[in-house]
Amino acid sequence: MDAPLPLTAEAEPRPSAAIALLRHARYVISGNVVTAASFVLFFLLLLCAAFGPWLAPYDPLASDTMAALQPPSAAHWLGTDHLGRDILSRIVVATRLDMGIAISSVALVFVLGGLAGVAAGYFGGWTDRIVGRLADTIMAFPLFVLAMGIVAALGNTVTNIVIATAIVNFPLYARIARAEAAVRRDAGYVQAARLTGNGEMRVLLGTILPNILPIMAVQMSLTMGYAILNAAGLSFIGLGVKPPTPEWGIMVAEGASFIVSGEWWVALFPGLALMLAVFCFNLLGDGLRDIVDPQRRT
């Protein structure tokens, strides 16, 4: 009945590193319902971002004044706004723009802040001082206020919202990358890389950077939520995205004037979409951290 015990260790080959990571990821996800839910939500967001225009039941820009400000019904699941546009369609189509803004700003700061921080931590000296001073100066501002100022100065466009959100997040990324690089500067494998004749830049980019990437990826997911909120806040006060483009922040702003007269659905549903997206990325970040860095698991 019992299978014979393997006599040697080779009988069961060790799984490769990638498979081990996947197994660990499956273990973390299956052990934590919330993380699993956040992954599902994440794929839903990706789906809406990729295929939004085909998924939406109506044209997000088509107005129908006969059907203006209708509460949720069978025809319009989430109701219609003051121009009779279908709110569900607008929310679904807006996913691409909102995700696009957040992802590009996070990617931008990931490259800029990550590289600056790694260089600061690895080289020290004046590189460190310049990056540190830059980060301190940005941190001296209330971040949303600085983002407003940057958009005002650069010009009121979506691209500039991406840039402003990236600049505001710069200190966070630079500091994390700096700390992680400083810790590894004199680690054994880094010294080995140096001793085998690699140049400083090669050690930095080829040996240290790949080791820091997982921790930075967690940070990316955690700041995605903040990036979404920041961009939506800017468009809520009328910056960047212009009507009639569907975008969650501006949709909430358009719905704001109908709240006092009781038409709650115009602002509520885009706001809920925002909340779910932020919630998803926060949970995803926690889940990723558990996968990448089991010691910090809470």
Partner 1 sequence: MLRTIASRLGTALPSLAGVVVVTFLLTRVLPGDPAAYFAGPVASPEAIAQIRAELGLDQPLLAQFARYLGDLARGDLGVSLTTGQPVLADIAARLPASIELTLLGLLLAVCTAVPLGVLAALRQGSWIDHLCRLVTTAGVSLPVFFTGLLAVYVFYFLLGWSPAPLGRLDSFMSEPARVTGFFLVDSALAGDGETFRAALAQLLLPAITLAVFALAPLARITRASMLAALSADFVRTARASGLNGRTVVLRYAFRNAMLPVLTTLGMVFSFLLGANVLVEKVFAWPGIGSYAVEALIASDFAPVQGFVLIMAILYILLNLFIDLLYGLVDPRMKEG
The binding site for partner 1 (CB under 8 A) comprises 133, 136-137, 139-156, 225, 229, 232-233, 236-239, 249, 252-253, 255-256, 259-262, 264, 267-268, 271, 274-276, 278-279, 282
Q: How far is the CB of 129 from partner 1 (least distance, A)?
A: 12
In terms of CB distance, is 91 or 181 closer to partner 1?
91
Q: How far is the CB of 138 from partner 1 (least distance, A)?
A: 8
Q: What is the largest CA-CA distance in the chain?
A: 79
Bridge partners (DSSP) listed for residue 80? 86
Q: How far is the CB of 249 from partner 1 (least distance, A)?
A: 8
In terms of CB distance, is 143 or 203 closer to partner 1?
143
Q: How far is the CB of 135 from partner 1 (least distance, A)?
A: 10
CA 282/CA 227 separation, integer angstroms: 11
In terms of CB distance, is 49 or 168 closer to partner 1?
168
- How many Å separate Cα 227 from the centre of its chain? 7
In terms of CB distance, is 55 or 154 closer to partner 1?
154
CA 224/CA 232 separation, integer angstroms: 12
Q: How far is the CB of 184 from partner 1 (least distance, A)?
A: 26
Residues 6+ apart with CB under 8 A from 241: 97, 158, 161, 235, 247, 249, 250
In terms of CB distance, is 94 or 267 closer to partner 1?
267
Buried/exposed 55-81: b ≥16 CB within 10 Å, e otherwise: ebebebeebeeebebbebeeebebbbb
CA 46/CA 88 separation, integer angstroms: 16
Bridge partners (DSSP) listed for residue 86? 80
